[in-house]
Structure 1
């Protein structure tokens, strides 16, 4: 994300591609990044060369080429997209309102693919403090957004446990009927909920994590409580589920993370009770490796799944019983205590509290209920480094004081 003055974009609607270039003024830093210069605008011959030589991030179909060729004619199509992917995602709504060509580019999802290819990522937090209501928070601009209300499939969906997963530009919410699973998908491209693709083996209380455009779910149980050892990979580009090799130990109430390019499923409950072991999945070798005593056994089946988060390939855990933050030491397979969680991070055996990684920060989302069913939510953040945690109150608002689901979308 660029620092300094943001792009200034007129809200007027142009009538031609030539007019569009008059209403988009990019900060010279943004042009510097796209041209490789030192604070100067790209020369006309640079733009001409960009028009003649396509970049490797223009592998979409002819219709998209036609719509996006006239983005910023003074720069050419390639430099235009190089500039646009460096704009904040919060500006894409204004960009889409400029013209049909901008709208087609934004709605196609190509900008987010190009951002991913160029390792440009912004992290937004999505959470639910009411059964069918979701909110989003942009830590960069500190803006709150209310998502459209979830459609109500049936009453069982409201009453059942639900899991959430952010992957690519989608937010997936998993609920259940009496004997089957319901998946709802929210897309930031359409700002709408639609039915989502179901897993090959529907499950609940599973461990999951996402990495770019893919996600992995592992373990869980059936509506009747039967434990699963199966795992699946979800591709948000094709919206398909692929079965993976099975876990060594069936488990539910577990947590999942990506670390060092590998997927880990940690803790949970097995056939014999609480599990302290974790399992590591190597996506290249397509096999699981058991890690004994990776996570301390919790206080019982009533507690929430392990509250885990990975920042810069370091694994952290929130101990809700002791109100502490711990870090995993990979070489020694042990945990060290760093300090305390925010004071107002109340929970019910870990339920109602969100502990997530958001870019280079750890965030804790929680609050307190007040009389009459109301409450407030606070978002506290800390950038892990030397010394104990120093939590910063990033945002707060009136809301239900119990976090039912939470996911962080990076795109």
Structure 2
């Protein structure tokens, strides 16, 4: 039996899936200090002539201060009371950013320690390339970091963590957690109808779809369901045409694509399913699409790209008309990015997070056809490497999500 020591100064750790529990950020100020975060106090200080930055109007000063990296906030709090008020709470910091219309992408990486197995979220500021942490998920029991599925609604600054499994007994979970950037906290949502791990997930028109995976008896599932985040309720949708544990999934042209994935040795061809919420039906994935899907995917310019794990980690794109994959021009994934890696994208950039949380940013460029009769889409990629600090050297990613804040 695992024992948890709880300090008298800390809230007790709740068990996974406690529907009444919310997790308060560990960096939220104590109640005795809350007056310093009161907006009315900030207004009072400004009326007394306490400027955010002497010689600058407050609106210009605030616009500048809200661009500072999060890892500098601790030092900034010591400047004055108004800076303490602004930087003393990440919740208030991100709320003010939203009020002023900031929409910068941040990379949220779900990782585990390779020695202890402890799970944690690390966040990369994609402007300053600085890392910081968010409050830990409410996990008491030992869990498998790769059994979860994470999805995000980027423009709303929200991500969801679903399912997973307990490491000791390999038992799938129906857990659902929601993290909100603006509030900087986790909330336990209503559980999935079916406990599952290693399943597919995706967001279509703000709705969260999950399908397949391992069941509580370790058999593969064919069931699927959808969450309406605004109502917090799950409902079943038609089952897939086959029982399947998902390797990867993507949303393309309003459809959820799920692949079983290639595993060495290649004894049998992988299976694949496609769900269309407009018709509420599943169909079998085209042969070329499923057999060439040999890595982790990202959708850029309305096209499906895959960072391949088998062909010298080259980037390739799916040709819908010809049901085939084409390797795009440019170098392969940089050597610093070691498997296992997680992939996501924003605009024309693909983000590949590898072991030790080193990051490769692939800039996708659409090429003009060489002649008027060539209608095929051509792309090239250029890679930029962002080396993570030594403090992250023992972390292995299992998911990467983009949120705007």
The TM-score range, normalised by the shorter chain, is 0.5 to 0.7
Count of aligned positions: 318
- Checking the alignment, whether the CA contact within 8 Å between 1:325 and 1:341 is kept in structure 2 is yes
- Out of 243, 247, 257, the position equivalent to 1:250 is 243
Q: In the superposition, relative to structure 1, how do residues 121 and 280 fare at CA in structure 2: closer, same or farther (>3 Å)?
A: farther
1:326 aligns with 2:316: yes
Which residues in structure 2 correspond to 1:15-94 (within 5 Å)? 15=41, 25-26=58-59
Q: In the superposition, relative to structure 1, how do residues 291 and 12 fare at CA in structure 2: closer, same or farther (>3 Å)?
A: closer
Q: CA deviation at 1:13?
A: 5.4
Distance 1:312 1:159 in 2: 31
Equivalence for 1:41: none
- Out of 153, 156, 163, the position equivalent to 2:149 is 163
- Out of 148, 173, 189, the position equivalent to 2:135 is 148
- Checking the alignment, whether the CA contact within 8 Å between 1:274 and 1:298 is kept in structure 2 is no
Which residues in structure 2 correspond to 1:114-193 (within 5 Å)? 122-130=105-113, 131-155=118-142, 157=143, 161-167=147-153, 168=156, 169-177=158-166, 178=169, 179-181=171-173, 182-193=175-186
Distance 1:26 1:312 in 2: 36
**RMSD of aligned Cα (Å):** 4.2
Secondary structure at the aligned position of 1:409 is classed as strand
1:236 aligns with 2:229: yes
- Checking the alignment, whether the CA contact within 8 Å between 2:42 and 2:85 is kept in structure 1 is no
Q: In the superposition, relative to structure 1, how do residues 327 and 354 fare at CA in structure 2: closer, same or farther (>3 Å)?
A: same
Give a deviation string over 1:368-400, Cα, whole Å, max 9, x none: xxxxxxxx4311101211354211113422224
Q: CA deviation at 1:235?
A: 2.5
Give a deviation string over 1:202-242, Cα, whole Å, max 9, x none: 11111112246432112112132212122222222232222
The TM-score, its normalising length taken from structure 2, stands at 0.64
- Checking the alignment, whether the CA contact within 8 Å between 1:125 and 1:138 is kept in structure 2 is no
- Higher RCO (C-alpha under 8 Å, 6+ residues apart): 2
Q: In the superposition, relative to structure 1, how do residues 363 and 139 fare at CA in structure 2: closer, same or farther (>3 Å)?
A: same
Distance 1:16 1:402 in 2: 40
Equivalence for 1:397: 389
Equivalence for 1:357: 345
Give a deviation string over 1:172-207, Cα, whole Å, max 9, x none: 153224445144443323323343432111111111
- Checking the alignment, whether the CA contact within 8 Å between 2:198 and 2:245 is kept in structure 1 is yes
Secondary structure at the aligned position of 1:326 is classed as strand
Equivalence for 1:287: 281
- Checking the alignment, whether the CA contact within 8 Å between 1:13 and 1:98 is kept in structure 2 is no
Equivalence for 1:75: none
Q: CA deviation at 1:344?
A: 2.0
1:317 aligns with 2:306: yes
Gaps (5+ residues) in structure 2? Answer: 1-36, 74-81, 368-378
Gaps (5+ residues) in structure 1? Answer: 1-10, 28-82, 300-304, 368-375
- Checking the alignment, whether the CA contact within 8 Å between 1:266 and 1:306 is kept in structure 2 is no
Q: In the superposition, relative to structure 1, how do residues 145 and 214 fare at CA in structure 2: closer, same or farther (>3 Å)?
A: farther
- Checking the alignment, whether the CA contact within 8 Å between 1:207 and 1:218 is kept in structure 2 is yes
Equivalence for 1:381: 361
Q: CA deviation at 1:26?
A: 4.6
- Out of 190, 197, 203, the position equivalent to 1:197 is 190
